[in-house]
Structure 1
């Protein structure tokens, strides 16, 4: 296989893994102030993702690093055009990480409530902005003939891209509700189920509207496979909602995760062989061949990736196995 194509697929896989794993992290953080009725319950909610959240973020760092090394022109154009949005994501992630560490440093209710809401904000902003960014990739942004972004931050905001952000926000929040239904005890699973049923209804509506608008705003459905993947994501989401209503939390979590994976596959499949679409002139769109590094760089990266990535996957899988038990408020030490 052409190494340029291979690394495009690997970047897509890394983003898919990131959205699947970090999606429930974001969702748990968003739901924290609403589902946790006491400090003990909020601690249980936070502890449910405590062993995982920083490992899940590694997928984002790896995806960004792979993009930088394999497709430096893509990285440069994307980060220059989306600079403010990515800066806001960075600030939100810093707030989120600090909230995890600082919340338990003081027992005062006002202190802990403050960091709970910082965790909420630090989870909500990335969940929203990643959807806006992905929608812009397929809709197109103003890129000139020199592969430079020629617009402003407000060029990234449109009804379609904001709907993309809302859809990702709802998908991740639903994934968080399903995770809490699986990982917590006492009354929290029932509250998570009720929240998930309400959120799921809005998620189905948002995703359906996004798919319909995509036919007018993008060209990703000009090929059959991305279209099948996109509509498959909607079917998986509907089945996840049905299983949640039947209290089959494990199946619902897997199917909602499948909806996220299929949506990501549709996005990158619709882009290929482009990496960014130019709204000024289709001929100025960036392709994997224009944006890629040298063949030697890609060869070295391939050797390193296929040597180290399996080790990382095994370690992360072991972490999920070790911390597989439910977290209950009454079992926490005070």
Structure 2
């Protein structure tokens, strides 16, 4: 196995970790507009991710940085061709971070409600757009002989891509609802479980349709195994949620997201961005990679830094593991 193969796997792991963690993070943001009934409940939902949301985004930064260093041609084509949707995602993430920090700076209800609306929309849009982006990567895009994207913005909005966006939005909402039921107390916990059932059923229909469509178009034997795992895990997550086993439901919903992301990467390999114009123009792990020396240095750095990141993030989740409810919100403190 070459180092560029290793780094393809590592980048797939980073994106899987990002969508697993930021998935429930985005889901909670969406639920602040769908599940919470008053300011106190919105505060509870925000507090469930308050200590961890910024740490979850470390996985995105690492995935982007690793792609830039290990596969510079992939990074250049991806970020130039997908410039507008990725810019919109970036703007949403910036506004979302500001909203989390600024919401409680003033006590006026209008001030806080406006920032809560910002949290809702800046969680919903990236949750949808990430699915659109990765659906396009798996399906293939217009890449010319010069390795540059030759299409336009609206070429990215075909039915398969839009269905991919619906899949990530519904899966993340389901994942977030299960996380909310795992982390809260009282009436909001019960409503989160009911909402998880509805979101999960919608996600099951969308995800099964999308994954089967992708498998038929570009799949192989390995991706078929991942597809079966994703579908089975989603069914198990729904069953565990109905049985009130919130921990198992969260584990299985996370496994669903992980298996779906792994499936997309398995349909790609050895390509990293297939060309729909000419298969000879596709970007692959070999023709888009950095030099062997660069990959060697990166491998040593990753071997040292990755365990440290996993350790401090795990510690953060352990420290803030307890459930919270509206009874923990002081009167008038929002």
Report the equivalent of 1:58.
58
Count of residue pairs the alignment pairs up? 331
Residue 86 (1) aligns with residue 47 (2): no
Which whole-Å CA distance do the structure 1 matches of 2:125 and 2:274 have between them? 24
Deviations 1:232-251 (A, max 9, x none): 20111011111111111111
Report the equivalent of 1:143.
143
Which whole-Å CA distance do the structure 1 matches of 2:38 and 2:110 have between them? 13
Over the aligned positions, Cα root-mean-square deviation in angstroms equals: 1.0
Which whole-Å CA distance do the structure 2 matches of 1:164 and 1:34 have between them? 22
CA-CA distance at 1:95 after TM superposition: 1.3
Q: In 2, are the aligned partners of 1:40 and 1:330 still within 8 Å (CA)? A: no
Q: In 1, are the aligned partners of 2:215 and 2:223 still within 8 Å (CA)? A: no
Q: TM-score, normalised by structure 2?
A: 0.97
Which whole-Å CA distance do the structure 2 matches of 1:214 and 1:40 have between them? 42
Which whole-Å CA distance do the structure 1 matches of 2:166 and 2:315 have between them? 33
Report the equivalent of 1:241.
238
CA-CA distance at 1:185 after TM superposition: 1.1
**Pick from 256, 270, 275: which aligns with 2:253?**
256
Which whole-Å CA distance do the structure 2 matches of 1:174 and 1:39 have between them? 22
CA-CA distance at 1:34 after TM superposition: 2.2
CA-CA distance at 1:230 after TM superposition: 1.3
Report the equivalent of 1:187.
187
Q: In 2, are the aligned partners of 1:131 and 1:161 still within 8 Å (CA)? A: yes
SS of residue matched to 1:169: helix
Residue 117 (1) aligns with residue 114 (2): no
Report the equivalent of 1:129.
129
Question: Which stretch shows the higher mean deviation, 12-21 or 261-270?
Answer: 261-270
CA-CA distance at 1:327 after TM superposition: 1.5
**Pick from 271, 277, 280: which aligns with 2:277?**
280
Residue 268 (1) aligns with residue 265 (2): yes
CA-CA distance at 1:215 after TM superposition: 4.3
SS of residue matched to 1:291: coil
Report the equivalent of 2:295.
298
Report the equivalent of 2:103.
103
Which whole-Å CA distance do the structure 1 matches of 2:215 and 2:93 have between them? 33
SS of residue matched to 1:275: strand
Which whole-Å CA distance do the structure 2 matches of 1:27 and 1:59 have between them? 17
Question: Which stretch shows the higher mean deviation, 204-213 or 117-126?
Answer: 204-213
SS of residue matched to 2:287: helix
Report the equivalent of 1:46.
46
Which whole-Å CA distance do the structure 2 matches of 1:38 and 1:173 have between them? 19
Unaligned runs of 5+ in 1: none
Displaced runs of 4 or more, over 4 A: none
CA distance 1:224–1:215, shift in 2 (3 Å): closer
Q: In 2, are the aligned partners of 1:16 and 1:265 still within 8 Å (CA)? A: yes
Q: TM-score, normalised by structure 1?
A: 0.97
